[in-house]
A and B are shown apart, each in its own frame.
Chain A
Amino acid sequence: MDLRLLTAEPTDAERAAIDAIVGEAQPGDGRVERSDRNRRHLLLPALRAAQRRVGWVSEGALGYASRRLDVPPADAYGVASFYALLALEEQPADVLHVCTDLACALAGAEVPPGAKASPCLGLCERAPASLRTIAGESPVEVQLPETGPPLPQAGERGLRLLRRIADGLDPTSLDDYRARGGYAALARARELGPEGVRQAVSESGLLGRGGAAFPTGTKWDAVARQPAQPHYLVCNADESEPGTFKDRVLMESDPFALVEAMTIAAYATGCTQGFVYVRAEYPLAHERLGNAIAQARAAGLLEGFGVELRIGAGAYVCGEETALFQSIEGYRGEPRNKPPFPVEVGLFGKPTVVNNVETLVNVPEILTGDVRETRLFCVSGNVARPGLYELELGTPLRALLDLAGAEPPKAVLLGGAAGSFLRPDQLDLPLSFDGARDAGVTLGSGVVLVFGQDADLTAAVLRIAEFFRDESCGQCVPCRVGTVRQEEALHRLASGATLGNERETLADLAQVMRDASICGLGQTAASAVQSAMINLEVLAP
């Protein structure tokens, strides 16, 4: 492309960091050149690398990445400015991101001077939490506190997805994983063949665990029969729904299970290439998963399946599958319109299987015969034993609250910020997809956030409104402006300076966001707020 490039040059450190991602520059011979318009998918990794090296994305780094990847500078700037964790203004190399989201607010989070406020970091069981990012020659990110409470069900018999974790497996050891039954499922998959595997998954009735609850077998069948090649497998590990940390625990503590599961999924659906898109705020998961992939590859267990980690840069909306594709492809994480659906037109425009981490790790269990329907629940807030729980679907919510040692709740947020507040008298709800649907709520990403008697629900509702306003990608009017208007109206209610019928305004906003937004973020941006106002009379005028 005939780009007009930025004139600023990168520093040597920035150049080296970017070259490590995109390869070294080859000088032209002045005689022959070929365009390669397929390099922009390295843009986000390149910008991230520059930031991790020097602490921010300078004009020189932006310009260099644009030039090396043949991306127009205005476009690259649009991408860089989209992500909350990419800084386009100089900042210190050592930054503390302090979570001020729901669980951490309940635990009294405070942002010290010089630190930045952060949305949910997925460390809710050890609230209040923060993330320290240190740029430099050996950049590190540290999740704080570095350890949390033990797995609540450790030592319990009968766990399924959490079995190996509860038994204390070594997450860095392929041998340990195999000793505990790992890779038996892949062998079984080869016996069954791709169609057999898909059939087993369909028959198990496995529904997606990322929040949308789509039948996994149906999705896999749809991709398997697509003629367009190649097929891609994408594991959505962006896990940014406030209150959610299940995928983090799975990736940190049992990463080989995900790798094996992805290998099986790729085999069953004809995918030759896979990506795990992990949010930026999970450095330990990056390390453990990267290590597991490398060990599996070295042991010949990937069998031609190319799987890569891709790391986000601070955008909740990138958990939406099509926004995730955009992010991997090197664009702003703006969701696409559906149809067409990813099974037909997905990553790089090709048929793509997108599955949540938890969904995938169900597959080896199904193939080795444990077809019980269990689900992971992320319990945090005013409870004695916060953490990740595994229960059979249908278990009443009250039973989970007892297990977790919950205080007598004023309200329980089910499903995350995109979910709903439940009243104390609604807690007999069976924790199943049908049970939730019948009650007009959703299990979402498995969040169970307990608000005790002294909890400030108004603050929680305002925080949720702020969250969606902040995380909106900005594409569509209902969400871009609607989330702003929702937050403004809630603040007016909170301060008492109301205009006219705020309830009607909020209901109208809820309706247009639910009915007319492009993606799930906008569609659920008013859900918890409305449930709090209607169910619990929070901010009732």
Chain B
Amino acid sequence: MTAVSVSAPRRVVELTVDGAPVRVTEGSTILDACKRARIETPTLCYGDTLTPVNVCRVCVVEVEGARTLVPSCSRKVEDGMVVHTDSERVRTSRRLVLELLSSSVDLSLADDAQRYAAEYDAHPERFGPDAATVAQDVKIDNDLYVRDYSKCILCYRCVEACGVDHQNTFAIHVAGRGFGAHISTELDVPLPDSACVYCGNCIAVCPTGALMFKSEYDLRQAGTWDESRQSEVRTVCPYCGVGCNLELHVQDGEIVKVTSPDDHDVTRGNLCIKGRFGFQHVQNR
């Protein structure tokens, strides 16, 4: 007997997005509806495997009857909802969010953010050369991964991945308040003194390269990191019996980093220190 669980069928909800009707199952978000309607919505803090925190506000849309704009990544659809994704209010807010981020954070490795900024005609230079930024020294305090918070947009993804969404190790959290809010270990102790277990699940979800494998960081520093010369091979971890899928990123015959597919139900993109960094033994040739 095959045993696929059958739960009660979910209701279909009909709403209007940019003038056209869209039908999605109850419980879907406006973002889901936009995807169904093939409308591209910029997102930064949203992650497929993470609970939406809606803090970047770049995915906002206009919903008729709502006083403020609404984050599409978390707002659930309702029958009869009328959504505008391209109104003046939406475009202005998205542009401003991108200008605010671009003017305060190093987005040089955040491909998506850069693409959106171009698309929405963001001009961060309008805030002047003395605009406050989060520029700071890179934190290199272990051999496995590197933290460059100059690139941090405070999307909270790493905190969630290290927290209840996945790893439940809680080695990092947001500290401080306001513009000074930053991702930190307790009392900003170096990673080796913290609760970090080097699973790399935070690196896997970081959208801007603020968190990066040391292997990648070193190659980038040396100018030899080249994604066009990399192949990705999906295999199974050599360690325990859980059966996590690994994606080995190989450049010039060397594994340069390890990820796991987000849609692999066993891992949902997560690994442990052995799966993430334990490949080294095959490089010791």
Contacts and interface: CB of A to CB of B under 8 A. Distances in A.
A and B touch in the complex (CB under 8 A): yes
Contacts of B168: 1
A73 B195 contact: yes
B57 A74 contact: no
B100 A482 contact: yes
A74 B101 contact: no
A306 B168 CA distance: 33
Contacts of B186: 6, 62, 66, 72-74, 76-77
A96 B8 CA distance: 62
A94 interface: no
A74 B194 contact: yes
Interface in A495-533: 499-500, 505, 508-509, 511-512, 514-518, 523
Contacts of B127: 485, 488-489, 499, 505
A484 B132 contact: yes
Interface string B125-138: 01110111000000
Interface string B52-88: 0111111010000000110100111000000000000
Contacts of B131: 485, 488
B100 A332 contact: no
Interface string B147-181: 00000011010000000000011111111111111
A488 B133 CA distance: 12
Contact of A482 (B96, B126, B171): B96
Contacts of A518: 54-55, 57
A480 B97 contact: no
B235 interface: no
A365 interface: no
A280 to B, nearest CB: 15
Contacts of B53: 337, 475
Contact of B173 (A74, A88, A473): A74
B178 A74 contact: no
B231 interface: no
B95 to A, nearest CB: 8
Interface stretch (A20-28, A174-182, A198-206, A464-472): A464-472
B214 interface: no
Contacts of A332: 174, 177
Which of B89, B127, B180, B194 has the most A CB atoms < 10 Å from its CB?
A: B127
Given A3-B170, A474-B178, A515-B89, A77 B187 contact: yes
Contact of B170 (A6, A75, A471, A473): A75
Contacts of A337: 53-54, 71, 74
B96 A508 contact: yes
Nearest to B52: A337
A81 B130 CA distance: 27
Nearest to A82: B177
B69 A515 contact: yes
A93 interface: no
A77 B173 CA distance: 8
A484 B55 contact: no
- Categorize the interface residue count of chain B: 35 or more
Given A81-B177, A82-B177, A332-B174, A478 B68 contact: no
B185 interface: yes
Contacts of B75: 339
A515 B93 contact: yes
Contacts of B187: 6, 59, 62, 73, 77, 88
A315 to B, nearest CB: 7
A474 B96 contact: no
A509 B56 CA distance: 15
A480 B105 CA distance: 13
B93 A81 contact: no
B184 interface: yes
B179 A512 contact: no
A78 B179 contact: no
- Categorize the interface residue count of chain A: 35 or more
Contacts of A4: 171, 194-195
A107 interface: no
- Main SS class of interface, A: helix
Given A3-B170, A74-B171, A472 B179 contact: yes
A384 interface: no
B280 interface: no
Contact of A511 (B93, B153, B169, B179): B93
A483 interface: yes
B178 A478 contact: no
A478 B172 contact: no
A472 B175 contact: no
B142 interface: no
A472 B181 CA distance: 10
Contact of A480 (B58, B92, B172, B178): B178
Contacts of B245: none
Which of B53, B93, B96, B104 has the most A CB atoms < 10 Å from its CB?
A: B96
A132 interface: no
A312 to B, nearest CB: 13
Contact of A512 (B74, B96, B126, B184): B96
A462 interface: no
Interface string A296-311: 0000000000000000
A478 B100 contact: yes
Nearest to B59: A516
Which of A1, A3, A484 has the most B CB atoms < 10 Å from its CB?
A: A484
Interface string A78-98: 100111100010000000000
B177 A72 contact: no
B170 A74 contact: yes
Contacts of B171: 4, 72, 74
Contacts of A488: 127-128, 130-132
A476 interface: yes
Contacts of A78: 173-175, 184
B97 A516 contact: yes
B10 to A, nearest CB: 19
Nearest to A8: B187
Nearest to B179: A484
Contacts of B68: 514-517, 523
Contact of A476 (B55, B89, B174, B185): B55
A125 to B, nearest CB: 29
A474 B174 contact: yes
Contact of B100 (A471, A485, A489): A485
B149 to A, nearest CB: 14
Contact of A474 (B69, B104, B130, B176): B176
Given A337-B71, A488-B131, A505-B126, A481 B174 contact: no
14 contacts: A6-B186, A73-B187, A74-B194, A75-B173, A88-B187, A474-B174, A477-B97, A477-B154, A480-B154, A481-B104, A483-B179, A485-B127, A512-B93, A515-B92
Top 9 A-B pairs ranked by shortest CB distance? A474-B181, A72-B170, A512-B96, A73-B186, A78-B173, A4-B195, A481-B100, A516-B93, A472-B178
Given A337-B53, A514-B68, A523-B68, 18 more contacts: A1-B170, A6-B187, A75-B173, A77-B184, A78-B184, A81-B176, A337-B71, A472-B179, A473-B177, A478-B93, A485-B131, A488-B132, A489-B127, A505-B127, A512-B97, A512-B100, A515-B93, A516-B69
